[in-house]
Amino acid sequence: MVKKEETGVEGIDLEQEQREIINAYRGLLRASKDLRDKEDTKLIKKAFNVALDAHSGDRRKSGEPYIYHPIAVARICAEEMDLGTTSIVAALLHDTVEDTHLTLDDIEEMFGSKIRMIIDGLTKIPEVFDENVSLQAENFRKMILTISDDLRVILIKIADRLHNMRTLESMRKDKQLKIASETQYIYAPLSHRLGLNSIKTELENLSFKYKLPEVYEEIENKLEKTKDVRTRFIRSFTNPIKRVLDHEGYVYQIKARTKSVYSIWRKMYQKNIPFEEIYDIFAIRIIVDTPIELEKPDCWRIYSLVTDFYQPNPDRLRDWISTPKANGYESLHTTVMSPTGKWVEVQIRTKRMDEVAEKGYAAHYKYKDNSIEPSKFDRWLGEIKDLLENPESNAIDFIDDFKLNLFSDEIYIFTPKGDLKVLPKGSCTLDFAFDIHTDVGCKCIGAKVNNKLVPLSHELNSGDQVEIITSSKQTPKSDWLKFVSTARAKAKIKSALKEERRKITTDGKEVLYRKLNGAKIPTNDENLNALVKLFNVSDIAELFYQSAKGKINFKSLKDFKLINGVIQVPSDIDTKQDDLSKELLNAVDIKKDTIVIGESFKDLPYKLSKCCNPIPGDEVFGFISAHEGIKIHRTECPNATQLMSKYAYRVIKARWESQKLEERMVQLRLIGVDDIGIVNKITEIISNQHSVNMKSIFFNSEDGMFEGNITLYVYDNKHLEAIIDEFTRIEGVKTVERRFDESAETEE
């Protein structure tokens, strides 16, 4: 947000602007007409007037009045989430405490304690610089703290983020990348977990659009070019289904859902296939309007009618009606073979199920009189509470653990008595034990899966029946963290380990004090800090812990030099920790500075990251690493999303020095049909036609297909594109892609 005089916007028609603001407000009222009564309308009007006055004179980066933003957020809450008056009021006021003269006490006086609590959850932590803290992570953690009190805080924040993403074009390129990365890393998975499918899809698409605009545009253009062909195919495919549904007397809709640009790219990337080889570009959705007691039989009846026309793939049947997903999603999915030989996914659901799928289970929350109907989120909310129980966890660890259960597929596990448990895919027997109860997890020594004895790390599959074996002598081990998958298990193990360490530390304090007293050394903070340096440990608590473990050489105490009872630390003891990182953070202005690669940057060291090997022409950014100075990454590096989201305070703009040409290493993967002489054709292009230096080449052939990995040196991405273009013209070569170095370590 910027003040009016900073925008540089001249000749504003204020009267016209006021009319447009009133029209935007009326649009909000129309969107919420089914969600409010007369008293609600008065409250919304009051909130609008308060927000309008508080934000008077403030403008967004685009130059438009700031009030448009809270109105838009409130409208998303009403129109796209079906949230009621409390959420609309809080959305209108959500930036007032952070950006204007209003305080939380003012909000409470005018609108009550519930609105105050929601606004407090939405208000950011003051930006006090601390090189050890990710401000985004701390703000997100603060917001999540309110989730068990009122889910609306999260929903309004998602609406806020959605509108920010919709209007991101007015921001600087570096800000676009940071916000898009944070959205992709946290807010899209969070929307998925809350069942906000359409919002999740839009957030993913917008993030992808700003991170890889050229790839986004290429896929979008291909979708547009093939639209007419898809439309004709869909019409032909659905006509017989419509006839039989009409004959059976169903009230229904048939929709064709085209896969999102981001989903298409992700499948292309993960499966290493071109756009043309993705068979599920679209899905057919049959939505039937039927009473709730007939939902299940009617969906299965329609499935039977569809498979009378088209042969189903038995391995692709997904029944989320009998067992809904944890986010409330219910639907029956099948994949059938069309007459033209194409596989087509058909989704069958009721009108109610479709509303839940698009707007999330949150659409069914009722907030009047502070009563909330029972929700399928209870288990997930319980896991969040478990994470929040540990006040010592830092914000970065919290987000990592929180993300674990956001975007994972689910498996269904049975107890010995036949009770059903839902766990993330990849869960092991120990995850299942902690899901039952913390004590069961802490004392778990093994399990029987389908009556067969298995270890703690055994990965479970859907349908397994699991019996946990416990021992009163068992205690949690640190290596358990290496194989558990769920946030709940990780949080409980960490908590138990910290409690055990706390006990050992207490014992170690007694041991150390006894030894110091024996050596007639005063047990004050000054001497304890001196011992931390002398014994090269991180802090006093670690000193106590090492004392208890017998790793401190107490014999040397008598040799320490004392002056006035204070231990003297020799000057040659190196006590520097992360000096390079601190020096860089202090020397760099991440908002203004830009690294020009090829030129000196404030006499500070920087180098190209090995994980993505950027070359001139690639879009890049700088990252201040903890121990290795500034690293230059490509914006499409596998680590980029995490770095720009979690450590935005360490990200700095970077660009290439255009005049300087220098060879840089890249890695390519080629896949195609094996043929005699194909390797010779590839090496001929490298050596003869482009005079490129090659570092290594490796080819493997199996079942008539080959995969080749080539490492070579190029000058810039245009040079590389020319080589790739010639590779793709070789008969038999199907795909050529630039590889990332998976063996390279991540930054943090």
Catalytic residues: 98-99
| CA-to-CA separations, 472 to 350, 433, 457, 496, 604, in angstroms, rounded | 49, 14, 20, 15, 56
Q: What DSSP string describes 347-409?
A: EEEEHHHHHHHHH-GGGG---GGG-----TTHHHHHHHHHHHT-TTS-HHHHHHHHHHTTS--
SS3 letters across 125-161: CCCCCCCCCCHHHHHHHHHHHCCCCCCHHHHHHHHHH
> What's the CA gap between 254 and 46, in Å, rounded?
42
Q: Are 552 and 535 contacting, i.e. CB atoms less than 8 angstroms apart?
A: yes
The Cβ of residue 699 has, within 10 Å, a number of other Cβ atoms equal to 14
> What's the CA gap between 498 and 520, in Å, rounded?
32
> What's the CA gap between 393 and 177, in Å, rounded?
28
Tokens 């000196």 identify what position?
A: 600
Q: Are 155 and 375 contacting, i.e. CB atoms less than 8 angstroms apart?
A: no
SS3 letters across 293-341: HHHHHHHHHHHHHHHHHCEECHHHCEECCCCCCCCCCCCEEEEEECCCC
Burial of 308 (0-12, 13-18, 19+ CB in 10 A): exposed
Residues contacting 85, CB < 8 A, separation 6+: 32, 35, 36, 40, 43, 44
| 640-669 burial code (b ≥16 CB/10 A, e <16) | bbbbbbbbbbbbbbbebeeeeeeebebbbe
Helix 487-518 vs helix 378-388: crossing angle, to nearest 10: 10
Helices (H) and strands (E) counted in the chain, each on its own, are 28, 24
Number of residues that make up the chain? 748
**Phi/psi of residue 712, each to 5°?**
-140, 175
In sequence order, what are the beta bridge partners of 713? 665
Spatial CA neighbour of 726 closest among 677, 690, 674: 690
Spatial CA neighbour of 152 closest among 201, 93, 99, 202: 93
In sequence order, what are the beta bridge partners of 696? 711
The alpha-helical segments, DSSP class H, found in 474-601 are 487-518, 525-534, 540-548, 579-587
Which residues in 543-628 belong to E strands, given as ranges?
562-563, 566-567, 594-597, 606-608, 620-624
Single-letter amino acid code for the residue at 18: Q
Tokens 């092991």 identify what position?
A: 428
